[in-house]
Amino acid sequence: MEDLDPPRPSRRALLQAGAAASLLWVGGARALAQPEASPAPANRSRPLPSRAITLRINASDQLLDLDPRTTLLDALRHQLGMTGSKKGCDHGQCGACTVLVNGRRINACLSLAVMHEGDQITTIEGLANGDLLHPMQAAFIARDAFQCGYCTPGQICSAIGLLQEVRAGWPSHVTEDVAVHSVSLSDREIGERMSGNLCRCAAYPNIVAAIRDAAEEA
């Protein structure tokens, strides 16, 4: 009997076989290229042991039990309910969280609470003497130096720190003679020294005027 030739595969079958082989090769190559995921640290989700600290805030001692990673701003707002200091950017770029520590202005969102044991911390809540406003607060009201008011606590605390820096003779980037002991507080000086405090409402002219009035009164 005459041998018959084996049936030839169709073009469709060849294409299907080639596609399947390509998928198997790509999948194997990806598996080889991707390293095994390293296991997560066993203690990643475990909180750090809390620490008891005492903070001197607005002339009053406050005993707190905090995670040592807690910022001063979060301690003020969430632990003590002092919500005058605002959390704007939480990156030290807007100045809404400015408070005074030993008379100097700092961004509370960038400073850990545990760093300030023994310091004198002053917030916007501690500036007035009863019903008697601090001169800077009164100047901001008189000059209408705010609109929405969100940045105002940080603006006022920063302005008070500014005046103390000027009294100490600290120059700024725009001070013409850095060797002088008495700095003339021009509008340009005020603008430069307050550049770390942003006002989304753009009340800057009135803020500058209020700071100038408070400086003249002082």
- Interval 154-193: pLDDT, tens: 999 999 999 999 999 999 999 988 888 888 899 999 999 9
CATH class in words for 127-218: mainly alpha
Mean pLDDT estimate for the chain: 89
3-state class (DSSP) for residue 61 = strand
Q: What pLDDT is recorded for position 178?
A: 86
Which residue type does 9 have? P
Edge-to-edge, what's the strand order for the sheet holding 51-57? 60-66, 51-57, 120-122, 98-101, 104-107
**8-state DSSP, 91:** S
**73 to 67, 90, 138, 168: CA distances (angstroms):** 13, 9, 25, 27
CATH class in words for 49-126: alpha beta
Sequential DSSP letters for 148-173: S-SSHHHHHHHHHHHHHHHHTT---T
- pLDDT tens sequence across 77-121: 999 999 999 999 999 999 999 999 999 999 999 999 999 999 999
Q: Is the pLDDT of residue 1 over 70?
A: no
Residue ranges per structural domain of the chain: 49-126, 127-218
pTM flag (> 0.75) = yes
